[in-house]
Structure 1
Amino acid sequence: MKKELRIFFTAMMFLTRLPVPRFTDHSPDYLEKSVRYFPLIGWMVAALSALPFLIFNKYISEDIAIVASIIAGILTTGAFHEDGFADVCDAFGGGWTKEKILLIMKDSRLGSYGVIGMMAILFCKFLLLKELPKFTPDLQAPSINIFYNYRYFLLTLFAAHSLSRLMPVLVMRYYEYVTDPDTSKSKPTAAQKPTFPALLVPIITALIPFVFMPWQFLLTIIPVVYIAFSLAKYFKKWIGGYTGDCLGAIQQVSELSFYLSMIIIWRYVL
């Protein structure tokens, strides 16, 4: 149990800015095993993103609540995945060879492609989240329990953050890692591919929120997996595999894909 707790806190240290016990370190062995808890870390990010939404939505407005939720998520993770997405935009937007793409990706400076990509993904996230509360049936006859009223919206956040963090783990299992491990954000989680038994924990964790939702929402998994592996295939075509920044981009795009799929199912299937 103590070992598993240390692995969990290692995952929390790696993916978030949340404080962890002092015994947590950057042990390569624990970092490699920490991928099993990536979706569970997604639950934590979702919870910390949901709380300001509920507060600001009750006392100010829905738009401000969504902005507060997005900011809370960014502060929780330190923009870890968003930064990876921006670096990928810069690298693949400005590089035409594997060497050039990897060189740009390692550059800590943010270029025009990265700025535009960051603005686009945050804007899309705001618009998609703005649509989600409108399809919460309980709002037609709200109770005094705000958690119950917004239970589908909250479950959507938990499912989105956990499922989107499962996608990089799956990509790590089936694709090759490239670039110098000493300069990568995925160091050293990508040093060894997760085994199939090791994937069971993150898969189950990512699927738990769906237990409390209508079964039709399971359909959202199909486009999320398709888009995540399409991105991985694209990365493999250009650089021969993935980097830590590529995994961050996959997480962000998977999250947006999930929100869009939820809206489509809510509107046209249920």
Structure 2
Amino acid sequence: MPRQLKLLLCAVQFLTRLPVPSFADFEPAWITRAARYFPLVGTLVGGVCALALLAAGQLWSGPLPALLAVAAGVLITGGFHEDGLADTADGLGGGQTVQRRLEIMKDSRIGTYGVLALGLVLAIKVAALAQLPLATAALALVAAHGAGRSAAVAVMMWGPHVSDPTSAKYKPTPDGVRPRELLVAAVLGLWPLALLGWPGLIGALVGAVLAILLAAAARRLIGGYTGDVLGGIEQVCELGVLLGVAAMLAAR
């Protein structure tokens, strides 16, 4: 099997619960090299969510189609990024020292900050989608999922990884993305935003601002990023895209 196809399947296996073949010659470094395809996997997940939204929209109105679409994304990924968001909120919000914040993030239990962050982000995403026309909301879902993974890959290249690989919850941990790989990731993940026009550009800007704010907070409080922080960055960028698109269309 061609190496690039192996890396793509590796990205699918790492980020989702979708069944993919295993490789006898698997190497841990593949996870990092597969990061270029994380946004492509995001657009695939967003596409499934969009199909769920369009199908549900033929049966129901109001926020229910949006809620089912968001639920489809959680089901496909196993809540991978949502778990990171909750742990990041607990760690950055509840710890008083760097070591304590990292310990909280590794704890599988969820605290008050995590519950609030997870509940509010999911609720706001559903509300933003429910304000959009069905076809626009479907395209926004694809764009948001691709942009969210692109933001995470960008942080993987620019930010220091502060987790101890031997004690990280997710192994192997992606680390050391190259500029060329980030460029490929951006091309694969950001193109759906162009289909939205100006609302897509504003969504990208809002998503980027939220991702930068969270990355900066993690850099200040723990010295860099962890796998959980990457999940949180994906979620807030996804949220920002949906908010920006909804705001632009509501203003028309």
| Class of the TM-score when normalised by the shorter of the 2 chains | over 0.9
Contact 1:165/1:251 (CA < 8 Å) preserved in 2?
Answer: yes
**1:128 pairs with 2:112:** no
Q: Percent identity?
A: 39
Structural mapping, 1:10-159, within 5 Å = 10-23=10-23, 27-133=27-133, 150=135, 152-159=136-143
Larger Rg: 1
Aligned partner of 1:139 in structure 2 is: none
Residue 12 of structure 1 deviates from its aligned partner by 0.4
Runs in 1 of length 4+ with deviation above 4 angstroms? none
Q: Could you list the per-position Cα deviations for residues 119-143 of structure 1 after superposition, in whole angstroms to 9, with x for gaps in the alignment? A: 111111111111122xx6xxxxxxx
Aligned with 2:69: secondary structure?
helix
The TM-score, its normalising length taken from structure 1, stands at 0.87
AA at the equivalent of 1:99: Q
| 167 and 186 in structure 1: CA distance in 2 versus 1, 3 angstrom threshold | farther
Q: 2: CA distance between counterparts of 1:236 and 1:184?
A: 18
Residue 206 of structure 1 deviates from its aligned partner by 1.8
Q: Could you list the per-position Cα deviations for residues 10-54 of structure 1 after superposition, in whole angstroms to 9, with x for gaps in the alignment? A: 000000000001327862121111110011001111121122212
| The one of 137, 156, 160 aligned to 1:172 | 156
The TM-score, its normalising length taken from structure 2, stands at 0.93
AA at the equivalent of 1:245: D
| The one of 199, 203, 228 aligned to 1:220 | 203
Name structure 1 gaps, 5 residues minimum. 137-149
Aligned with 1:101: secondary structure?
helix
Give aligned pairs, total: 252
Name structure 2 gaps, 5 residues minimum. none
Residue 189 of structure 1 deviates from its aligned partner by 4.3
Residue 154 of structure 1 deviates from its aligned partner by 2.1
Contact 2:54/2:138 (CA < 8 Å) preserved in 1?
Answer: no
| 256 and 211 in structure 1: CA distance in 2 versus 1, 3 angstrom threshold | closer
**1:184 pairs with 2:163:** no
Q: Could you list the per-position Cα deviations for residues 227-257 of structure 1 after superposition, in whole angstroms to 9, with x for gaps in the alignment? A: 2122111111111101000010011111111
Aligned partner of 1:202 in structure 2 is: 185
Contact 1:186/1:243 (CA < 8 Å) preserved in 2?
Answer: no
Q: 1: CA distance between counterparts of 2:108 and 2:186?
A: 33
AA at the equivalent of 1:176: P
Contact 1:16/1:78 (CA < 8 Å) preserved in 2?
Answer: yes
Residue 109 of structure 1 deviates from its aligned partner by 1.1
Contact 2:148/2:238 (CA < 8 Å) preserved in 1?
Answer: yes
